[in-house]
Structure 1
């Protein structure tokens, strides 16, 4: 797994848990070592194509291309973005708002409703509704742009749909103390993290 190398993402944590940044010269050397593995760089990972990670940028390759899966994903996006059948619903997930700022802002011009789930829902809920999120994922950088996203959505009449209840646990894994159906009004308890939306949210989204 390349992420065991701090030079892959450019940052990480040391054995003591302290945040560290990769040395620029070591990043360059790491990318050069990747370059020796192949003659052609083919990116077929649509979900991570936006990341400036060493294995994703294809630095040093004379020939770069997109794979078949990437092509299919782009074709699907083109149909939705260029000539969508109304009404249009976008469903977005993932951990970080900051990774998807441009996508979200552009999608707001195209859609009628947007369901936001995954880890980034907790950032929206904390900023929008001041909801307690316990130890759930929280994107500090992304939080700064949430008000702007909500303002644009309101101006365009786009309904932003967030979870109304949650499945949470005292830790990530099957052996944690799991609570289901925790409501937005209750908030995620201290020492707990939201792992997924709850049954009420699933029921509402299914409609």
Structure 2
């Protein structure tokens, strides 16, 4: 990554200005509309509070939630988020049941004295992800409603703020096409870009990355790109079993496998050799006959492999010792992806040991960055949020951009002079 060359909210004067903030409130809620994880809401507060402190005329928050298919769905309303913002900020948040149109523009333009307004789910309108759909299908065309959608959102602010790093790799209309002349990063996005740029651009060595997760393909591109940056790469999670099988013909039982990944594995080995990166995989693993709390549990290693009818669910104790030593040798650590099915206690030790090792290394002076929803959830589970330097809201797709200035949601921001 290169140092971000875009304006941040601290580079402009928000005094008496209407500030439109694109946030990421795509958070989990149950069927009753109760919020299950408010961490993304909390992450957005510093920018909102900055605008209040510096006497912005009004603050309008826009976001999407899930995939409603371009039409209103009551169970995907942002209404409950307005209540949570009210509780967190101690300030009345006005919620509007739409995000564009005459009534929305009229109410937002009447706001004053630091009024905060949260608009309804952007994806209740098909225009929000029209650019993405058109890229996937050239037969999808821009239409008059697309222009109206852009114009209506553009009428809501004097300053546009992108504070959604986790979405900045995506081409959402609200992030790319608004006609507001001043476009800046929020405090959350700015911190993300600064920390990640520092970590990947000029890391203290040795630089160790730990990549895991349960989805086989989610982190493949990230792994391939990181090989140009790191000294050592630890691969855990379900993808580790794919490497084991392809490289050493180790039996992996019922563990997830995809023949399509054979070329990827061989490509990683070749690139690691080119960049002199040391690769590490588990040498022993916890296995189970099913992914369930009432399963049978065992342990095996490279010599015996995973028997038929069993699944690899976590890394074993000998692997934990090896990885601990590697992590403690690091000066820079990047971690994305859990070691196994950590939400079941029987399968959580590997992930917990990674957290403990990274925390200890951080205490000794290493710079540590963790990212990914499951990773962040695990860190919270073991109350280690204050033991890691930076917990990112980003995901594998945002980190695939080795130059932060190339993220679609960042390219459209105003340049520093």
Q: Same fold (TM over 0.5)?
A: yes
Residue in 1 that maps onto 2:224 = 105
- Contact 1:98-1:141 at 8 Å conserved across structures: no
Match of 2:289 among 142, 159, 170: 170
- Contact 1:32-1:60 at 8 Å conserved across structures: no
Q: How many residue pairs are counted as aligned between the two chains?
A: 174
Matches of 1:57 and 1:150, distance apart in 2: 32
What SS does the corresponding residue of 2:287 show, helix, strand or coil? strand
Deviation string for 1:153-202 (max 9, x for gaps)? Answer: 0122111100000001000012111002x101110111000011000000
Q: How many Å apart are 1:95 and its aligned residue?
A: 2.7
Residue in 1 that maps onto 2:347 = none
Deviation string for 1:11-42 (max 9, x for gaps)? Answer: xxxxxxxxxxxxxxxxxx94312697425987
Distance 1:39 1:175, change over 3 A: closer
Match of 2:302 among 169, 172, 184: 184
- Contact 1:167-1:196 at 8 Å conserved across structures: yes
Matches of 2:321 and 2:264, distance apart in 1: 29
Alignment of 1:40-189 (within 5 A): 44=164, 46=166, 58=172, 72-180=191-299, 182-189=300-307
Larger Rg: 2
- Contact 2:211-2:219 at 8 Å conserved across structures: no
Deviation string for 1:100-138 (max 9, x for gaps)? Answer: 232112211111100001111111111111111111122
> Normalization by structure 1: what TM-score?
0.70
Name structure 2 gaps, 5 residues minimum: 1-27, 30-66, 73-97, 100-119, 129-161, 326-417
Matches of 1:49 and 1:135, distance apart in 2: 36
Matches of 1:141 and 1:49, distance apart in 2: 28
Name structure 1 gaps, 5 residues minimum: 3-28, 51-55
Distance 1:59 1:113, change over 3 A: same
Distance 1:177 1:70, change over 3 A: farther
Q: How many Å apart are 1:59 and its aligned residue?
A: 5.8
What SS does the corresponding residue of 1:114 show, helix, strand or coil? strand
- CA-based RMSD of the aligned residues comes to 3.3
Q: Which has the higher contact order (CA 8 A, sep 6+)?
A: 2
Question: Is 1:203 paired with 2:342?
Answer: no
Matches of 1:119 and 1:57, distance apart in 2: 30
- Contact 2:163-2:188 at 8 Å conserved across structures: no
What SS does the corresponding residue of 1:33 show, helix, strand or coil? coil
